[in-house]
Amino acid sequence: QVQLVESGGDLVKPGGSLRLSCAASGFSFSDYYMAWIRQAPGKGLEWLAYISRDSTYINYAASLKGRFTISRDNAKRSLYLQMNGLRVEDTAVYYCARDHRSGYHLSWGQGTPVTVSS
Amino acid sequence: IVLTQSPGTLSLSPGDRATLSCRASQSVDNNYIAWYQQKPGRAPSLLIYGASRRATDVPDRFSGSGSGTDFTLTISRLEPEDFAVYYCQHYGSSPGYTFGQGTKLEIK
């Protein structure tokens, strides 16, 4: 069955960096767009970015202002999110998702928590 | 596109019919609206895509409708496991995809 397992979440100081990973199994990873979505504590969902099957197409939420970078390694069946210049407001659970090519999220990982605090 | 969901909280009983609304700030092309269900402590799961198409294994008591700027998720007869938070999402166009703020469906 489809499995997405995020890792890399941690407690980090403001201004710090973190790299999240998402390990995929149970489907042909290279055939799917992938995405990152986050959810701040007690808040709603915020779409962050998507990446196409071969990394040709990438799109980010405007709110990220170039601080985050999505990437993938199809050989390793893995999705990544490099987060730089972290702010307190980036505190959230970060989910990776397997996307239909049109953009809706077919399946989600269980999430990895990121806390930005001094 | 900004999505506004209403009501914020809906209090109903098992067996009731639930109607959740999602209004877009401008017309949605191709009816690219999805609905997700999120239970406490769990990741969201896909219910509806393309405004009205049920995802795999979603019970037929869930249905989606609408076009243009007004979309609706209907749960025909609430089961205990349906009490959760529901989000609509616009997808498929730049600059990015957006979620509504969510509707909490709680037991009355």
What are φ and ψ of residue B23, in 5° steps? -115, 130
Partner-chain residue, chosen from A61, A104, A108, that has the shortest CB–CB distance to B43: A108
Distance separating alpha carbons of residues B56 and A107, to the nearest angstrom: 11
How close is the nearest chain B Cα to the Cα of A17, in Å?
24
How much is the pLDDT for B93? 75
Per 3-state DSSP, chain A is made up of helix, strand and coil in percentages (nearest 5) of 10, 50, 40
For B32, the token pair is: 């690219």
- Could you give the residue ranges of the DSSP H alpha helices within A33-74? none
How much is the pLDDT for A65? 81
Q: What string of H, E and C letters represents the secondary structure of A18-31?
A: EEEEEEEECCCHHH
How much is the pLDDT for B42? 97
Q: Is the pLDDT of residue B10 over 90?
A: yes
Distance separating alpha carbons of residues A106 and A104, to the nearest angstrom: 6
Asked if the C-beta of A58 comes within 8 angstroms of chain B's C-beta atoms, the answer is no
CB B40 within 8 A of CB B65: no
Asked if the C-beta of B52 comes within 8 angstroms of chain A's C-beta atoms, the answer is no
Q: Above pLDDT 70, what percent of chain B?
A: 98
Q: What is the mean pLDDT of residues B23-48?
A: 96
How much is the pLDDT for B39? 97
Higher pLDDT, B58 or A65: B58
Q: What is the pLDDT of residues A5-43, one digit of tens each?
A: 999 999 999 999 999 999 999 999 999 999 999 999 999
- Interface A-B: count of C-beta contacts within 8 A: 60
Q: What is the pLDDT of residues B55-103, one digit of tens each?
A: 999 999 999 999 999 999 999 999 999 999 999 999 987 667 899 999 9
Q: Is the pLDDT of residue A51 over 90?
A: yes
How much is the pLDDT for B91? 92
Asked if the C-beta of A9 comes within 8 angstroms of chain B's C-beta atoms, the answer is no
Distance, C-alpha B84 to centroid of its chain: 11
For residue B85, give the DSSP letter.
E
Mutate to test the interface with B, among A95, A104, A106 (most CBs of B within 10 A): A104
Q: Write out the H or E segment, with its range, that includes residue A38.
A: strand A33-39
For residue B31, give the DSSP letter.
G
Looking at beta carbons, which residues of chain A come within 8 Å of B55? Answer: 106
Q: What is the pLDDT of residues A67-94, one digit of tens each?
A: 999 999 999 999 999 999 999 999 999 9
